[in-house]
Structure 1
Amino acid sequence: MPDNLTTDNADIAVIGAGIIGVACALQLARQGKRVVVIDKQPPGHGASFGNAGHLATEQVFPIADASILKRLPAMLMDPMGPLRLDWKYLPRALPWFSRLLLNLRPAPFQRTVAGLRALNESSLDAWKRLLHSIAHPDLLKEDGSLLVFERAESRPAVEALQARMRQQQVPVDFWSASAVRESAPQLSEQVQGGLFYPRTGHFLDPYQVVCELVSAAKTAGVQFFQQEVQGGQLQAHGVSLITDQGRFTARQVLIACGAHSAKLTTALTGKRVPLDTERGYHLMLPHEQGRLPFAVTSLERKFIMTPMTGGLRLAGTVEFAGLQRPPFMQRAWQLHRLSKGLFRHDLNAEDATPWMGFRPSLPDSLPVIDQVCEGKVLLAFGHQHLGLTQAAVTAEMIVQLASPSANSGVPTMDAYRLGRF
């Protein structure tokens, strides 16, 4: 990767080399744009490296519901719970949580569901188009996913969730315990049943997906630079960016740096975005290939297990502690403890590796996908748990925003505008 930005003639500078930034860069370059990508890390080394790998098209509801108020004391007390709030971060988090609760009122809640559903309904086909275009459809397994429950008293909640999903036209089937064991025989006998989502899938290696997109982007003429963008300002004919190695000017800039997007967005647009980060952990088990046929989530244990080429990835906890505090890796190892009893034989954690990354989350659970400042600033961030799921369709939307005549048939933009804040 080159270190220095040597020219100032780029059409678009993409800030962020995660899955969304790289997918956008590739699609923009295919429209004839001269594109550079700038990130302080190598491509795919942020949240895109360690996500759960689940193509989560079924997740059409917000990241929280009103019951969060009841759970707040437990969040503060239990460092190993599925949803943790670092008490030292509480003063900074309270305004964000206040806005989240306001968005759980009926009207904004329905707007969120509609916005998520529109993106997710388009996501699988968008990914198939993108992977086919780089000759790597094999990186995605379109084989569904399963939510299992173990307690008989959980069945009413599962049936209610199935009804809610069907109301949103999400394909979903109820599986009995015998049906679960037929497809996933290594799961424990205590599994009572589950919900199977046929229009979902999983990626065999999320980091490899980024690498293959980077390779295709370079072939299309995209340049990648490892620098830290420290600020920027609008100019008459473009945007001037300040990096740790100097200045660079482009006609347009796309802010797609996930949880780190707020500062530059404010600098260029004057808009303060209520962006926070959900710190997510995973534990990779390299000796567990073949244990599951597809991604499986536990309703009661609240984590997901995804089979990958590198083993079985356990993921799914949420921690609010900001961008600066060091990782609390015991939460990653807690995932292995959570798995005990869910299988006929316990998972092998030998040589397991823990990881933590930042999910960029907005209080209405919707991303910002927009064009502002007379077209000079494009925005694609805030996808919370769904960055991998929505990356390909987001790239198609950004192409349409950058060149309105270039694409059609992508979700309407209104729900994702910056101006909603």
Structure 2
Amino acid sequence: MLIFIENTPRTYAWGSRDALPDLLGLAPTGEPQAELWLGTHPGSPAHVAKASAGDRTLIDLVESDPELYGVDGGPLPFLLKVLAIGAPLSLQVHPDLEQAAAGYAAEEEAGVPRDAPHRNYGDPNHKPELLVALSEVRALSGFRPLTAARDELRLLAAAARRAGEHDGAEALEAVEARLRGADPETLRREFLVWAFSGDEIVGRALAALAAAVQGEESPLDPDRACVLRDLVASHPGDPGVLVSLLLHLVRLEPGEAVYLRARQMHAYLSGIAVEVMASSDNVLRAGLTPKHVDIAELCRIVDTGELAEPRFPCERVGRGLVAWRPDVPDFVLLRARLCDPEESMRAEAPEGSSPLVEVPAPHPLVLMVTSGRVRVERKAEGEHGLAEVASARRGQSLYVSAGDPVRLTGHGEVFLATVGE
């Protein structure tokens, strides 16, 4: 079955006011619209579009015939999102399966209300996630070598001293000293605890850093300086600004991706992107937020090892079709690029596109068109069956039940999330 689905964007303070309305072909509401959820997560399940008999969610659809619409008789193990990042998100970490199950059980036993602002675990599932940029996207992703953070802290301290801010320079030098030692993983964990300890050096260092990155004379790499200016403007005095120096800063071009394994610290900073994740909403925060920060629990679950390369490559799986396949069974993300047959014959087609893309569907697919208009077709079953056909434009989404492959034609770009291997 090819079923149109839709949802109302979620309004978080960090969202963009116009990016999601532009993608969906809707008028802006004036609110910051941050995320569009397309899945069966109970926090915001997608709805069957234009349902004839009242409102019907994708959960209702799966429960009406779990064998036809579900995965192993249950809801989708993945959640597809579109993110519109108008301001930096919190620094955050997601638990692995064992940590999520234990944390959820402990909070349930303690009677912590599921909607309590200090609750850490809303479900017993892990939350690895993969993000693919639709525009230029900036993100902090994974721990980088401590030497890089120490070098930047020394540059900031020197700039503060040249400006006559000797107290601030000493504070920044004290921060740098905390990152010296033989065991980087232990140093990072201890730094996280200290940054949120209330030590007055943290406040002095943050004030000195904020002053040092203003204007065009910042001693840092321009990208890092720009990010720090945004962070201190959005979250003045937040220890997460210092923590951000420990992380890789990544600038993604459209089509590039990052994969965020469970326990990996990260924060999205700006841009528009497609994201797929395990169906969970468990988040432990490490600053850059007014929300609850449980630094002890975060330090218990975070992986403080160094990440060699934050970008995650795709693989070509067919003409016009690429896949991002992380090492989890919950999801895989596919991208199809389609061109007109005439363009293909004249060798004028966009790179990596094809006039026809066939996508296997052994499990349900959630499909979203991010540019152009696409025809989705599944051949008829049996001698007298009728083929299923749907025409979807930019911003429209489909739920595709498991079955025979679907054929995509038209002109544009399509993302499809499905179950991993």
Scaled to the shorter chain, the TM-score interval is: under 0.3
Q: Could you tell me the TM-score, scaled by structure 1's length?
A: 0.22
TM-score, with structure 2 as normaliser: 0.22
Bigger radius of gyration: 2
More helix by percentage = 1
Higher RCO (C-alpha under 8 Å, 6+ residues apart): 1
